[in-house]
Amino acid sequence: TGRKQLALIPSSTMLSMSFQQYDAFLEENKLSTNQEQTRMVKRVGHNIQKAVEQYMADNNRSEALKDYHWEFNLVESSEVNAWCMPGGKVVIYSGILPITQDEAGLAVVMGHEIAHAVARHGDERMSQGLLVQTGGLALSTALATKPETTRQLWMAAFGLGASVGVMLPYSRLHENEADRLGLIFMAMAGYDPRVAVEFWKRMSQEKKGGAPPEFLSTHPADETRIQNITARLPEAMKYYRKADG
CA-nearest of 163, 71, 76 to 110 is: 71
Q: Which is the catalytic residue, given 71, 113, 175, 177?
A: 113
Residues 6+ apart with CB under 8 A from 53: 62, 65
Catalytic residue check, 79: no
Buried b (16+ CB within 10 A) or exposed e, 122-152: bbbbbbbbbeebbeebebeebbeebeebbbb
> What's the number of CA atoms in the CB half-sphere (13 Å) around residue 85?
26
∠ CA(218), CA(223), CA(225), 5° rounding? 50
Residues designated as active site: 113
